[in-house]
Chains A and B, each alone.
Chain A
């Protein structure tokens, strides 16, 4: 009997060593892969989240008698269509070299026009109104930095002038941009009203050379960058399709690795986490779409054109998924567009080009109020119950690591990790594994 117990004990200790070794190896390899394939993380996450959102739709298809393969085909087709339309819209939104120069010229001109208008300045260096006296000394250097950053460099000015020499400047649109360009050349600093922005830039020749080198380098590698981005993002539909076809086999195989003691606990944890994350993601998506529609409608109401309002609404609605930062992102994007608008066709008679930025801020404020009072309580419930500090650090960390998309996906990832930990802890207690 004693020999049998010894054998059993030895076997048990060997099993523990085996699982520990395999566990450490698995974690090490996972960390290595995550670091090595960092650029693939976001496409994989987006593909996974999209598949996650589509799984209930697939179940509904099957319930209505649509075969699994046809359901997958419909969803995959829809996914590719959405990705294609979005990619097309995004590429259309990216201006070409000429459009970029015109846009920067226009933004610089409009920004200075509005700046002087709001501060009651007739020229840089003037006294202005009460508001300028109050905070002008703080904002003038900021505006000067903005002007220095957005002003066309020497090579860009040469290119701009070479294009416009051949153009018919009697056309209203071209004539307007040319006039704006000329006005920008005569733009003075606000903090140093005797110095023109362009003079300072010419004097700082070294800096300009560096800038040119950077622009040249960026232009040279543009095609390589695009090919690289496309090849990386091809992973997304593959992950999406794989997870839809998988039909739970992956989780079944993972459960197969779990020791018998933890079998039921692992099943319950997986199901609870699956339900909670599914609810959160679907709730967030619905909330974002509702916010997109709300912002679009309100922007059109204050005089934005329908096309740009749809895009601004979509971006702001999507960004709204980020607590705290989302509304700021929406406000900045919409206000930036309001800044370069030339005319306003609002149904509300008191909204003009001059007070459009204020109206945009009111739109974002109203949409946030509707979101907090109506959408969040009804659609999302208490799915996101994160401490503000965690949200803040998570969002900043995500943006440092992966840029805007990192900012967007940091909170869902934190919610997922929190849900896994919370459920696992509860289940370990329910199954008397821990106290």
Chain B
């Protein structure tokens, strides 16, 4: 969503923001992405409005914590959907594939490995072998669908529409329609509330991330100077660094402010046979699932921006003929892109089933639409060639905020979906208008 109206000072930059305007505005000097600013602006508006409507219940540490763990599953898949849509394809099968991957992992840890391999329930290797099996399942099925699209030239819409029917029911078939659980405790740690870093490690992780971000910005600047390119003024660099560091540490502070309820703590102490000290408190901190999402986001962004694979994905989306004539194997590329999608679906399946603490047949139902909507709201163009990883994640966050915000306000379920649908269409319209303004196609 690129709602430029929400960005003050953006208007003076006029039609061609990147042109060599003699007097560069404050925002221009920062060289921030207008599209990103628009989305962040929209997100902030959504948060503030719901916070007012819920009398301050929306922006509590507890709700922000819940919001982040609810967003993870869709956000992880949305990063993969960016590559799919950028290469002018679509994947309607992600929700169904999530069910299959989840079913495989659930069966691995509760039936197949214990019964066939003789690993007892609770064995330390169970969750990891299950996750490995799930990842392989996702990657192989994704690659297979990619092969059908790339080499047999069946339209991705059809292949994955078939996949939508097939994989949902493969999951059903594997589990005979039963709900499988409870899942392994270590496995459940990926779900959110059952696996968090705690206050101290959260701070360490946050500081580490801040240092890495600053170093990355600095080395990029030095590299530019080394080649004699113009760089933004040092104060602008500092402002950008301050914003990023502030956002990272602020996020950690909020998550750390969500304290574990004392009865839960008391139960933990009791389980260890100890007495809880008077006035003892502990925080949840960053959930592992959120760390997983951050890791996925970093890796996918690096792939998109810094690797040949990413360059070829965007080139193929921009002009498939040009890519092919440049010697890029676009068929193999399609297989790779769908394999990446499948792998990410499997990672999401870990998070989604761990959060529910069991596998059920309807897991991931309608996720394909949420994932596509998140990518599209995040500025991914269905015409191909354009899209960002951070945009897709922000898109997922905006959608989840709308959904849970409306639920908190007490909006009726049918109205909720009507609003989300409207937002999707409106977001694309705003994006089209924005692109026309800045002179793109």
Co-assembled chains A and B: no
